[in-house]
Structure 1
Amino acid sequence: MRDQSVPRALILLLGIAAAMVVLFGLREVASIAGPVVLALVLVIAVSPVRGWLNARHAPTWLQVAVPFLIVVLVLVGMVAILTISGTQLAALLPTYNSQFQRLLTDAQHWATTHGISNAALEKGLQAFDPGRVLELVQTLLGSVIGILTALFLVVVLLLAMSLDAPVTAKILTTTNGNRQLVTALATFAHKTRRYLIVSTVFGLISAVLDMIALTLLGVPLPLLWGVLALIANYIPNIGFVISLLPPAMLALLDGGVKTMLLVVAAYIVINVVTQSFILPKFLGDAVGLSTTMTFISLIVWTSVLGPLGAILAIPLSLLTRALLIDSDPSAAWAQALVSGKLPGTGR
């Protein structure tokens, strides 16, 4: 009897094609999909508050209202800080034109004394324009502010999901549906919550230390760069670089090369201690994604949802893993592939 099974190569190609269709579709509705995922992640993040209130037999309206208000106050506070600081940055940048010209003159003098031709230096300076970097920062901050200021949709979604959260949790734990899928979604919620809580705590620690260092060094707008460091902490692999470049560039214009080098050194020390040594001990294997998969997820979700996709890359990848891999008992090989660990070995 002939084997009628579908070739694995065909299944793989069909899976890739379906994934491309879904991703392109999500990109077309990114203005809706992004806030929906953001609201879902925020509801998951504050669900321990609801659980704590439920354990103390608080009324249902209080279990909904308290987590909802916590999230809304955080969002409003971040919007206010970014808006005010962004306005201050826009007013501050034009005052550094003379400093930039002085830096150019000093660089040309240094290059001449070390045998570098002015033509090569000018070409390099055209490529390295602090004004362009700071414009990029303004664009990034504008994108973040745009995300956060879409508060109406996010708040409505938050309220709806907060109202449904108690019932949804009971349905998932009591119904006799696909138990593998239910377990996978519960694992996704647990991993996402742990990732967000631990990352937020250490992100706040890093942000406060960065602000203290910038204040001591006299770099303008330390609160803005602290908030940027906190937000960039959720961006895997390149978040540290994104948080470092703007204050380092501003330190160069405001205090010179020495101040810039001190800012870079302070950021590196703070990041290495908090993010490289301490954070992994608390986060452990909560993410369950290999370094390669983390970087790929950053590229994919940023291209689909823009800046919000970069911030939500890890939760989105965990959700995708729960729906497509963890819910399938026969996909143990895929679990090992995305986590970078051999099945049953934990390493």
Structure 2
Amino acid sequence: MATGEQHPDEPTPDAPAPAADDGRPGSSAAPEGRADEAALTARAGDTLVVQRADGSIHEPNGDGEPTMTLAETMHASRHHEHPGDLEPPQRIALPPVITLLLGIAGGVVAIAGMRQVSSIVAPTFLAVTLLIAVYPLHKALRRVVPSALSALVLVILLYGILASLVAGIALAAAQFATELAKPTYSDTYSDLVDGAIDLLAGFGVTQDQIIDGLNSFDLTSLSGVASSAVDALTGTTSLLLFLLTVIIFLAMDAGGFPRRIDAIHRSRPDVADALVDFGTRVRKYWIVSTIFGIIVAVIDYVALLALGVPLAATFGLLAFITNYIPNVGFVLGLVPPAFIALLDGGLSTMLWVIGIYCVANFVIQSILQPKFTGDAVGINATTAFLSLVFWAFVFGALGALLAIPFTLLVKSLLIDRDPRSRWINQFIASAPDDSSSAQPV
């Protein structure tokens, strides 16, 4: 060997002697105290990894790569990948049929659950929507009076409205039952039945068939139905007390609603925007429905008064209340005055009542009211009717009254908030948006 040359395997004079154990397989035993740390050694590609007793991985070469388990390192080695480049696990997609069936099953369970708690959910939602409707008044009062006094005024106002409506319905039902019990109407009813029998006999219907069909119906039974309605309304004391309690707590918390919405907006802006949109729509719905309900009630009252139909004020109040029920509310407000008009003034008076009610309802609710509501509701007549049937099935009478607000809540949170679901608006909206993501057929 030449002078000055050095064998590659020989250490330089300045280099320290190699360690007795480098931690690789086949080397001498690990130093005392490290046997529990270097429990297992494996080589992944060119990277030396050591699995300690606690399951973590130590990389003696200090290349700075993230610590991994031995199984992940060996998996990366088999696929010729760097240990830090592992792909995340893929989500397993269910077949569309299974997804649809699971969605239907979940919906059925949710509906059954809502029906079980309808006595709590429906009154609470009514209180929430009413508070939303009068919330601008609460904000205005807070500028001039303390927050507690503003909340008290809000509670008195809302409870006064609810108590007046319930008392008005009970009074109307009681007066209707009393009117039907008059003896003069019984004679008129008998004459009408005789005339109907003669008319139907000309079409081949026998008298026995007609009498059998009418035996189960008389004015006494109809009066009993009205009396039962009065009893049911007077039994709503517990409902009113529950509503009063909910309104009190909501009014106490109303001052913090803007801060809560701001807090939600910081983390979930889409949810916050949907809630604000729902509040705006439902407030406009209640206000516009109330204004046009008053207009319809005044027109019906004046018409009934001019025709000499008894209980004109009672039927005007009934028209105002039923105006909140979409589609069928008009029919519910028409049948009682038309029947009384038939008994009191004859067929011609009844036809006049029906004609005036139909014209007023068509002009106001079908032409004028939509122009003022604009996109406040934003659902077509078919959707409104199906919503009425569905929510009445779930929540009963209050569901019929709150059909539109419930639908607005679902629309804002589940359809308008999610861009992937906005195509549904093409089927339920009163004026579909041409700029939506749905493609023309």
Question: Would the TM-score normalized by the shorter structure come out above 0.5?
Answer: yes
Q: Which residue of 2 aligns with 1:300?
A: 390
Asked if 1:67 is matched to 2:154, the reply is yes
- Is contact 1:333-1:343 (8 Å) kept? no
Q: Which residue of 2 aligns with 1:161?
A: 250
- Point out the more displaced range, 185-194 or 207-216: 207-216
Deviation at 1:267, TM superposition (A): 0.7
Deviation at 1:247, TM superposition (A): 1.0
Q: Are residues 112 and 325 of structure 1, via their aligned partners in 2, closer, same or farther at CA, if it must alter by over 3 Å?
A: closer
Matched residue SS, 2:375: coil
Q: Which residue of 2 aligns with 1:241?
A: 331
Q: Are residues 324 and 130 of structure 1, via their aligned partners in 2, closer, same or farther at CA, if it must alter by over 3 Å?
A: farther
Asked if 1:200 is matched to 2:287, the reply is no
**% identity of equivalent residues:** 37
* Larger helix percent: 1
Q: Which residue of 1 aligns with 2:74?
A: none
Q: Which residue of 2 aligns with 1:286?
A: 376
Matched residue SS, 2:244: helix
Matched residue SS, 1:331: helix
Q: Which residue of 2 aligns with 1:344?
A: 435
- Is contact 2:177-2:224 (8 Å) kept? no
TM-score by length of 2: 0.71
- Is contact 1:133-1:246 (8 Å) kept? no
RMSD: 2.8
Mapping 1:9-20, distance limit 5 Å: 9-20=97-108
- Point out the more displaced range, 186-195 or 77-86: 77-86
Question: Which amino acid is the alignment partner of residue 372 of structure 2?
Answer: F
The partner residue of 1:7 within 95, 99, 118 is 95
Q: Which residue of 1 aligns with 2:86?
A: none
Question: Which amino acid is the alignment partner of residue 23 of structure 1?
Answer: I
Deviation at 1:259, TM superposition (A): 1.4
Asked if 1:312 is matched to 2:399, the reply is no
Deviation at 1:11, TM superposition (A): 2.7
- Is contact 2:174-2:227 (8 Å) kept? no
TM-score by length of 1: 0.88
- Is contact 1:233-1:239 (8 Å) kept? yes
Q: Are residues 132 and 263 of structure 1, via their aligned partners in 2, closer, same or farther at CA, if it must alter by over 3 Å?
A: farther
Question: Which amino acid is the alignment partner of residue 192 of structure 1?
Answer: V
Larger Rg: 2
Question: Which amino acid is the alignment partner of residue 8 of structure 1?
Answer: P
Structure 1: any 5+ residue segments left out of the alignment?
A: none
Deviation at 1:146, TM superposition (A): 4.9
Q: Which residue of 2 aligns with 1:28?
A: 116
Q: Aligned equivalents of 1:162 and 1:337: distance in 2?
A: 37
Q: Aligned equivalents of 1:228 and 1:142: distance in 2?
A: 17
Q: Aligned equivalents of 2:401 and 2:141: distance in 1?
A: 29
Deviations 1:228-260 (CA, angstroms, capped at 9, x unpaired) = 212211111111111101111111112211211
Q: State the structure with bigger RCO (CA 8 A, min sep 6), 1 or 2.
A: 1
Q: Are residues 246 and 346 of structure 1, via their aligned partners in 2, closer, same or farther at CA, if it must alter by over 3 Å?
A: farther
Mapping 1:1-347, distance limit 5 Å: 4-54=92-142, 56-95=143-182, 96-112=185-201, 117-119=206-208, 121-122=210-211, 125=214, 146=235, 150-175=239-264, 176-339=266-429, 341-342=432-433, 344=435
